[in-house]
Structure 1
Amino acid sequence: MAANADAIWYGGHIITVDAKASTAEAVAVKDGLIVAVGKKGEVEKAERGPATVMNDLKGKVMTPGFVDPHSHFTYALDMADQVNASPPPVGPGNSPAAIVAAFKQFATARKIPAGELIVGYGYDETQMQGGQPLTRDILDAAFPNNPVYVIHVSGHGAVLNSLAFAKYGISAATPTPPGGIIQRKPGSMEPSGLVMETGYLPVFLNKPKATPAQEVSQLKFAQAMYASAGVTTAQDGASHQADIALLQRHAAANELYLDIVSYAFFLELDPILKANPPATWGKYSNRYKIGGCKIISDGSPQAKTAAFTTPYLTGGPSGQVNWKGELSATQDQFNTAMKLCYDNGLQVLVHVNGDAAVDAALQAHEYAAAGSLGKDRRTVLVHSQFARLDQLDKYVTYKIIPSMFAEHTFFYGDVHVANRGKTQAYFESPLKTAIGLKLLPTNHTDFNVAPINQLWTIWSAVNRTSRTGVVIGPDERITPYQALQAITINSARQYGEEASKGSIETGKRADLVILDANPLTVAPDKIKDVKVVQTIKDGKAIYTAP
């Protein structure tokens, strides 16, 4: 007797990403779950009923919904009301003049009055034409009557004008905090514009607060952005206490249609744990859960704030000699945070870019997990961009998951060669080596450092081509199928959700993506041009391309 599936998809290429790497002719869904996968005739015979909706893919491609291994969902909330100052191909900001023009256009369109703060995102000093950085003085000349700041592409800093410096209490008298950068004007202690890492915290922690109506609008904007990229599970990769409270409020009001997972920022663990006992973590409530803890051990390699064991070839961000970068906190702080999370049975994600940061994270694991170093805790070292081979061997022993960032090979590959040398740059985000070690790596966007576009993550992992067309580490290129696994089944496993997500199999949630071409068979350089046609969450379309 027919089981009366709610819907059946057929007539295209269905990539299941199951253990056998199989394909299927049809998928049947009922009550948000996959109830049959296989030959069209067999699926229809078993599951088609009078009310079943038959969806013809018309030759298009279906894959599992994309499970976001690492991004910053709440950044998208803010972007609804910010200026895109990113360099091409993401935005127009390839010079200070272009950034100023984008800000002026935004201010005019929004009719922003004098005195009101204007914020942009995506500033990347490595892409400024002629090497001219954006400075406080440039922003002052363009906006003498508005506080303005432009968030660095890493998300770890910003360039401020004078009114913004005054607003956030940063001046010539402000000492540079440990682990921070406050660039100064030559021969002076006056800030020149750029602040990074802990030097940026006064700005980041006091960012503008949205009204309740703005929150609702921003949440719709952010979810639509992720859904249009085929993402069905999104991550907020370093949630502050206020971020968690915001997402909990909107989850309680049933305003989430994506699954959203927060990782609590390690410097706020005590108040977050007080408000959210450990027993409540790891469990969805109206599509939201706190997944675990997030520790940040260093900065970004493109901004030269990542921590290495050897010096940058090009000096430090403020001209320092023999600059190796700095850890974001002390080893004792990392150890204490890791042990607090482990002792409470909580998953830990650690931001590591430079190899010194990886060393610090591994040392924290050894301290916190003493006696059970190889227990499967689903600990994740996020980025792992410059992990050494001996460190990856420890990942295997300690059952640590590397979540890598292959898009850096495009956006910053040329910069890494200049800063770190060819040998180290070519081993950046070594996905192939990790797969060879059976580490089951994931591959992320770190949005909004890079666009949320998941096809770009596949393309970059397969091609590893820089902005100038150089292949950054040809030996670390992987297959399109392996790159798809890194944002589906491997990502689901990273969350501990591989039993319910990440592949198209009977019993799993009907989180699906329809693409206009097959990323496994198109020319490798065309993978980035594949478009999301529809995103389906628990059997219901949440995005359909215009």
Structure 2
Amino acid sequence: MSYFPRRHFLKMALTGSTAMVLANRAIAQATSLSDVGAAIIGIDTATIFVAREIVTLDPEQPTAQAVAIVNDRVLASGTLEEVQVLIGDRPHDLDRTFEDHVIVPGFIAQHDHPILAGLTMSSLILSIEDWDLPDGNTTALEDKDDFMTRLAKAESELSDPSEPLLTWGYHAAFYGPLTRSDLDSISGERPIFAWARSCHEFVLNSAALSKAGVTKELVESWSESEQSQSNFEDGHFWEQGLFAVLPNIAPMIANPDKFRSGLLTMRDYMHAKGVTFGNEPGGILAKPIQDAVNAVMSAPSMPFRWTFIPDGKSLVATYENDADVIQQTKALVDWYGGMTSMVSDSVKLFSDGAIYSLAIQLRDPPIGDYHGEWMMDKDAFERAFRVYWDAGYQIHVHVNGDAGLDRVLNTLEDNLLRNPRFDHRTVIVHFAVSAPDQVDRIRRLGAIVSANPYYVTALSDRYGETGLGSDRADQMVRLGDLDRAGVSWSLHSDMPMAPGDPLFLMWCAVNRVTSSGRVAGGNQKVSAEEALRGVTINAAYSHHLEDELGSIEPGKLANFTILEENPLAVDPMAIKAIVVWGTVMEGRVQKVGEVSVDEARLNNGVIPSESEFAKQALNHALSVVHNHL
């Protein structure tokens, strides 16, 4: 049985100075379970939850049948009889709500993007993968004809012919080019905007171009690079061309009401997937947009807490003085409140581009017409790393190519030699393409990894043919090598770059099954238990929260995910199909579908004007995409 490995917790559970004195004396003298139980003086009423099985990830007590909590903390776990003996005749409630279910540590969304998710999830999703959303399911596209058929159906169901139609998820590498004429065949009157799966390009129909005031003459007035990344005849705008057209199209595709609806969809989606805690890395640097986010995510009705890591790339580019960089980073703490907060002493930097656009820096040349991009110039990256390193920050670095990883590890090693630090936990984020020698170097340098296993499922087939070749494509996200080397790793979705579903991420990591149904890089598979650790205790560890979250142990927050089956016991291919009943978040029981909207909090939220909101929201979302792609 597990009880009170942290003696301070018993003190936390007591109230009043007399109770504290007696507790200190009793704890000091306790030699048995009954002695510890007798020390519970003045404790609040406990709740004992019983379950078919409890997977604790506590090495001292891996499984249990009952768990007792007091307020928002775990008190003890074990058999029901053991827990009851500990509590003795002190007041407690016995809750059998979960007696036919399995309790696991609360899932952690280690790395996701609420604004980008809010905008995409409030659009018509026609994508390369299935999306299981609270307001309905969408299945993956079969081909371009399927896209055109579904888009035409959605257009016909809109009553107002002038209402813009935004769809997200089309991927030209999978289905072929999409042009203005394709969208014109759907409607010549309704503005239609097709936002690509990468989030880094748009295709507009003629009605959208006309209503947005985008003319051939306007495009010809842009800079050379903006024009080179635009095709007016095809209605196609990407990279710098997309940023150039943004001011014209933003008011039609982003508004406060739709964005708020998207955030609520994201909230309910993630709760339905068992998330109890989440994080946005490279957080928002536009306060009006953060205020709009807070109007939803800071509300007491939020079923999970959400934290934000500052965007060091932008902060370093803004402030020339190193001291100002740190001062302005710390000042962001005032932007949050309620269920949102800023992660202290943590920052996000960027190395190379993203895997979805193959803008990654590779040691060996890519296959096909692709070239890598650096998201920060070398001097800027090295300065940012040094500034935050010397200030004692934990540094999370976006990196996808093996040459991009070389830059990160070289910079980390230089700083370790210059200014040694213990337990720095520098996080290698995404970890798409790497080499075996780099895994050993990650271990030696004391770094850890936050990986996206969905890259294998979604991209290995296609990138085996173009971009990477079969060996590099199949060995993406080499979790097996990390495991064997003893490197701590966690899993993330980068929502909406992958479904924000921890069980699905586990499934991807355990099975490595691609979209065609084959296994890619079987030597990189990991066990179900390790994958569960990747969305719980290891994810907590990646944010220095392992003493608060990630396992069911006395003294930790009472964050649980309630499942119908044990993901460690089912067939590995069945992991993603396990039904989530709901969650317990800091002691609050929350069944899926029963989370209420705090209307008062939403109505009091500070929302900028519609035009200003549209501009800032899309600018921020596309800046996130630019940093990722």
TM-score by length of 1: 0.86
Amino acid at match of 1:262: F
Equivalent residues of 2:361, 2:401 under 8 A apart: yes
CA shift at 1:468, angstroms? 1.5
CA shift at 1:353, angstroms? 1.3
Question: 353, 366, 375: which one pairs with 1:328?
Answer: 375
Bigger shift: 450-459 or 153-162? 153-162
Within a 5 Å distance, the mapping from 1:34-113 to structure 2 comes to 34-47=74-87, 52-90=93-131, 91-113=139-161
* Unaligned segments of structure 1, at least 5 residues: 185-189, 317-322
CA shift at 1:512, angstroms? 0.4
Q: Aligned equivalents of 1:342 and 1:530: distance in 2?
A: 41
CA shift at 1:280, angstroms? 5.8
Residue 153 of structure 1: aligned partner: 197
Question: 431, 456, 472: which one pairs with 2:504?
Answer: 456
CA shift at 1:203, angstroms? 6.0
Residue 555 of structure 2: aligned partner: 507
Residue 127 of structure 1: aligned partner: 174
Cα deviation per residue 1:433-472 (whole Å; 9 max; x = unaligned)?
Answer: 1122221101122211221121111111111111112211
Alignment of 1:24 with 2:64, yes or no, is yes
Equivalent residues of 1:156, 1:299 under 8 A apart: no
Residue 353 of structure 1: aligned partner: 400
Residue 142 of structure 1: aligned partner: 186
Alignment of 1:408 with 2:479, yes or no, is no
| Identity across matched positions, percent | 26
Q: Aligned equivalents of 1:254 and 1:28: distance in 2?
A: 24
Amino acid at match of 1:153: R
Bigger shift: 515-524 or 78-87? 78-87
Residue 371 of structure 1: aligned partner: 418
CA 84–252 in structure 1, closer or farther in 2 if over 3 Å, else same: closer
Alignment of 1:430 with 2:478, yes or no, is yes
CA shift at 1:222, angstroms? 2.0
Amino acid at match of 1:290: M
Q: Aligned equivalents of 2:228 and 2:430: distance in 1?
A: 21
Q: Secondary structure at the match of 1:468?
A: coil
Equivalent residues of 1:73, 1:237 under 8 A apart: no
Q: Aligned equivalents of 2:335 and 2:482: distance in 1?
A: 29
Alignment of 1:290 with 2:331, yes or no, is no
Q: How many residues align?
A: 529
Question: 357, 367, 384: which one pairs with 1:337?
Answer: 384
Question: 478, 484, 492: which one pairs with 2:540?
Answer: 492
Q: Aligned equivalents of 2:130 and 2:187: distance in 1?
A: 26
Q: Aligned equivalents of 2:328 and 2:67: distance in 1?
A: 39
Residue 227 of structure 1: aligned partner: 271
Equivalent residues of 1:240, 1:264 under 8 A apart: yes
Question: 308, 316, 327: which one pairs with 1:262?
Answer: 308
Equivalent residues of 1:61, 1:518 under 8 A apart: yes
CA 266–11 in structure 1, closer or farther in 2 if over 3 Å, else same: closer
Amino acid at match of 1:303: S
CA 62–253 in structure 1, closer or farther in 2 if over 3 Å, else same: closer
What is the alpha-carbon root mean square deviation over aligned residues? Answer: 3.3
Alignment of 1:477 with 2:513, yes or no, is no
Amino acid at match of 1:332: D
Alignment of 1:303 with 2:347, yes or no, is no
Amino acid at match of 1:244: Q
Q: Secondary structure at the match of 1:423?
A: helix
Equivalent residues of 1:310, 1:324 under 8 A apart: no
Q: Aligned equivalents of 2:315 and 2:65: distance in 1?
A: 48
Q: Aligned equivalents of 1:235 and 1:527: distance in 2?
A: 24
Bigger shift: 82-91 or 443-452? 82-91
Greater Rg over alpha carbons, structure: 2
Equivalent residues of 1:122, 1:449 under 8 A apart: no
Equivalent residues of 1:64, 1:504 under 8 A apart: yes
Equivalent residues of 2:297, 2:306 under 8 A apart: no
Q: Aligned equivalents of 1:470 and 1:120: distance in 2?
A: 30
CA shift at 1:330, angstroms? 2.0
Q: Aligned equivalents of 2:540 and 2:476: distance in 1?
A: 24
Cα deviation per residue 1:112-145 (whole Å; 9 max; x = unaligned)?
Answer: 542x5432222222332xxx32223312332434
Equivalent residues of 2:45, 2:91 under 8 A apart: no
CA 256–339 in structure 1, closer or farther in 2 if over 3 Å, else same: farther
Q: Aligned equivalents of 2:237 and 2:423: distance in 1?
A: 38
Alignment of 1:466 with 2:514, yes or no, is yes
Q: Aligned equivalents of 2:257 and 2:193: distance in 1?
A: 24
Cα deviation per residue 1:318-370 (whole Å; 9 max; x = unaligned)?
Answer: xxxxx332223422232233334334443332221121222233344456666
CA 254–353 in structure 1, closer or farther in 2 if over 3 Å, else same: same
Amino acid at match of 1:410: T
Q: Aligned equivalents of 2:541 and 2:568: distance in 1?
A: 22
Amino acid at match of 2:452: F
* Unaligned segments of structure 2, at least 5 residues: 1-37, 132-138, 320-324, 595-629
Equivalent residues of 1:181, 1:195 under 8 A apart: no
Bigger shift: 383-392 or 140-149? 140-149
CA 463–164 in structure 1, closer or farther in 2 if over 3 Å, else same: same
Q: Aligned equivalents of 2:334 and 2:102: distance in 1?
A: 32
Cα deviation per residue 1:396-429 (whole Å; 9 max; x = unaligned)?
Answer: 2332221111122211121122231222222210
Q: Secondary structure at the match of 2:347?
A: strand
Q: Secondary structure at the match of 1:412?
A: helix
